[in-house]
Amino acid sequence: MCGIAGICNFEKKPSIEIVKLMASRLNHRGPDDTGYFDNEYVSFGHKRLSIIDLEKSTQPMKDSTNNNVIIFNGEIYNFKKLRKELEHSGHQFKTNGDTEVILKSYAEWGENFLNKLEGMFAFCIWDEKEKKILLARDKLGEKPLFYYFSNKIGFLFSSEIKSFLAVKEIKDELNFDHSSFNEYLTLNYLINNKTFFKNLFSLPPASYISIDLKKYKKDTKVMQYWFIENYFKHKTKDTFEDSSQKLNHLIKDSVEARMFSDVDNGTFLSGGIDSSTISLQLKEIDNHKMTAHNIFFKEKDFNEYEDAKIISDYLKIKLDYYEIPKGKNLVDDFPSLIDAMDQPMSDTSFIATYYLSKYSTVKSKVVLSGDGGDELFCGYDTYIADIYRKFLPKMNLKSKFVKSIIAKLFKTKFTKVGVDYKITKFLNALSKKNNYSHILWREIFSINERINIFNKYDHKFINYDFLEFIDNELVKLPDVNYLDQYMYIDLKSWFPNDILYKIDRSTMYNSQESRLPFLDSKIVEYVCSLPINYKIKFFERKRILKSIVKKKLPKSLFQKKKSGFGTPIGLWLVFDKDFKEMAYDLLNTQFMKNLFCNNEINKIWDSHQNMEEDQSYKIFNLICLSQWIINNKLENKL
């Protein structure tokens, strides 16, 4: 696991000094080793987090048979199988790791080799013979890769946005994409491969870019090599029992494939079905001494330690738990937390994941996590909302009216996601068409709230235009169950841009590698092909996953109510003096006053302080943005 950065320029020799500057902002992703390569057309930088083949697989790596060069971030879990295939074809190897396997695979199969890779990755290959670069990203978007074209410097790419901001010439060129603020306030994250800057893009999952002399300075064409929608279209004829057995074997194989490393392994254990399944499989495969890690909250509604302890005791595995700092310590850490985000992505669970990684990396440089289970097996409340929505007409309910009714029925409580909050979001989204309702169950600021809060902001940017991608995607799946459609949308939007973004940034900032067994492409492809009633039936979620583990895990796991992984931001904003003061100050910077209407922010703040309405998500959304602006000295960009 690593950080990569580079420049390609076919008109003048690219600057290795600029690449060194870009790479210097990626030290957290690779503290163990640093390497550079440059020639007439490219300059590469690499920061290495050593996990396998600790001594030999240094990067950038050159293939001595053809002078191709690679910089690579990630892990290829089937590299040993590919290596045997390549050796059979006559290739010889000098290392024992996966990086060289990628180089040889490219030499053997060209760009077609991308579909052969099982793993998480972002890499760039310089093809010496063809004089071109190939940038590629894994199928679901576990590993990040950003790119930008500068007339002055060339085609630049990096694992993180902060690399671009480290270069003064690039930072001066970059301008805010104003529509991104609207999108961020709506969803907490950005979709459609956008960033907060014009012309600085995220390479989409399952995609690659190839640039040579002919394509240089032309519109960058992004090519897709894997199409997850195809697996939703073609449903398996397997019975539920056969599917359960097959899925069990696939999960076991995936966990086993992700256990290899030359450093200590561990697992994140929340006590939910997903993480418990992964821990169970680890235990069954190899009854070795493994450590499970859990984050502890004194706030009862947020604490999952007791659930995790039940599982760890049942499986007889060691459980380490860690408490999130509060008060001044949390405030002192907050700039680093936002720096870890790279750009604002204000899922409140980011804080919990960040500290879980920060404390657990001392014992476990590699961790396995259950992320992906909710998206694949219909685990979220939003899918239940979709079922109800199917039987209700489109309604236009005034937001203030909805809030007043709910306020009378439910007392505001700063729990993970209160009943009042869920009902408000559900009723508000009824005014949208079905396809949009699904993603707007998680809406942070409604369109009317955005209109009110933006100050001196072109109202043409305040819209739902970014949701048109849903229509464009669903055209690909016209004849599948509506819940399959919404799961597909989540896998194309929420999952890569919130869930995977969070786990990558929080762990890599702490120099820890996370591996996600549910994301093995054989599992993903098979689960997408399952009939929807194998996953959810009569409001029972994760039906097939539960069938695999229900006889091997304690009954209490299946009786408890689903609980998301959250952080008690709402309580801290009221009862933690230091955190409250910090948040208030961040809401009242000059940048925030320029971008937003201060009176509206004060209304949000006061209603939360008076416990009239839970405004946790809105306030956290805004203070993450404010701190990011301060961290990167972007005040003058507006």
> How far, CA to CA in Å, does 278 sit from each of 110, 118, 367, 514?
35, 18, 11, 13
**Could you say which of 2, 8, 378, 624 is catalytic?**
2
Q: Output the pLDDT for position 297.
A: 87
Instruction: Give the tokens for residue 87.
Output: 């050796």
Q: What percent of the chain has pLDDT over 90?
A: 76
Tally of residues, the chain: 638
Task: Using the CB atoms, write b or e for 327-359: b if 16+ within 10 Å.
Answer: eeebbebbeebbbbbbbbbbbbbbbbbbbbbbb
Per-residue pLDDT, averaged over 52-66, amounts to: 79
Lowest mean per-residue pLDDT among 203-212, 405-414, 480-489 = 405-414
Q: Output the pLDDT for position 410.
A: 47
Report the chain's terminal Cα–Cα distance, integer Å.
Answer: 35
Q: Which ranges in 195-239 belong to alpha helices (H)?
A: 229-233
Question: Which DSSP symbol is given to 498?
Answer: I
How many angstroms separate the CA atoms of 274 and 553, rounded? 12
Task: Using the CB atoms, write b or e for 597-615: b if 16+ within 10 Å.
Answer: beebbeebbebbeeeebbb
Instruction: Give the tokens for residue 106.
Output: 């490219």
Q: Output the pLDDT for position 560.
A: 76
Question: Which DSSP symbol is given to 539?
Answer: T
How many angstroms separate the CA atoms of 538 and 436, rounded? 23
CB 181 within 8 A of CB 199: no
Mean pLDDT across the chain:
91
Superfamily of domain 2-175+200-224: Aminohydrolase, N-terminal nucleophile (Ntn) domain (3.60.20.10)
Assess whether 2 carries a catalytic annotation.
yes
How many angstroms separate the CA atoms of 447 and 451, rounded? 6
Condensed to tens digits (0 to 9), the pLDDT of residues 160-193 reads 999 999 999 999 999 999 999 999 999 999 998 9
Task: Using the CB atoms, write b or e for 238-250: b if 16+ within 10 Å.
Answer: beeeebbeebbeb
Q: Output the pLDDT for position 58.
A: 85
CB 226 within 8 A of CB 146: no
How many angstroms separate the CA atoms of 634 and 52, rounded? 39
> How far, CA to CA in Å, does 522 sit from each of 52, 237, 354, 356?
24, 17, 29, 29
Please report, for the chain, the start and end positions of each structural domain, with discontinuous segments joined by +.
Answer: 2-175+200-224, 239-371+503-520+549-557, 394-472+567-637
How many angstroms separate the CA atoms of 504 and 246, rounded? 29
How many angstroms separate the CA atoms of 593 and 589, rounded? 6
Q: Which of 360-364, 612-616, 621-625 has the highest mean pLDDT?
A: 621-625
The residue type of 18 is I
Beta-sheet strands, E only, within 95-254: 119-127, 132-137, 146-150, 154-158, 200-202, 207-212, 223-224
Q: Output the pLDDT for position 265.
A: 82
CB 472 within 8 A of CB 121: no
CATH no. of 239-371+503-520+549-557: 3.40.50.620
Q: Output the pLDDT for position 420.
A: 63
Q: What is the distance of C-alpha 373 from the center of its chain?
A: 14
Condensed to tens digits (0 to 9), the pLDDT of residues 295-349 reads 988 888 888 889 999 999 999 999 999 999 999 999 999 999 999 999 999 999 9
pTM for the structure as a whole: 0.94
DSSP H/E element including 48: strand 42-48
pLDDT at 408 over 50: no
Q: Output the pLDDT for position 262.
A: 61
How many angstroms separate the CA atoms of 365 and 14, rounded? 35
How many angstroms separate the CA atoms of 258 and 286, rounded? 12
Report the 10 Å Cβ neighbour count for 460. Answer: 10
CB 454 within 8 A of CB 462: yes
Per-residue pLDDT, averaged over 113-124, amounts to: 97
Per-residue pLDDT, averaged over 99-119, amounts to: 97
CB 267 within 8 A of CB 293: yes
Q: Output the pLDDT for position 412.
A: 56
Q: In terms of pLDDT, which residue wins out, 423 or 149?
A: 149
pLDDT at 563 over 70: no
Condensed to tens digits (0 to 9), the pLDDT of residues 453-498 reads 998 677 788 999 888 999 999 999 999 999 999 999 999 999 999 9
Condensed to tens digits (0 to 9), the pLDDT of residues 138-164 reads 999 999 999 999 999 999 999 999 999
Condensed to tens digits (0 to 9), the pLDDT of residues 219-263 reads 889 999 999 999 999 999 999 999 999 999 999 999 999 987 666
Tell me if domain 2-175+200-224 and domain 239-371+503-520+549-557 are identical in fold.
Answer: no
How many angstroms separate the CA atoms of 541 and 327, rounded? 38
Phi, psi of 526, deg, nearest 5: -70, -45
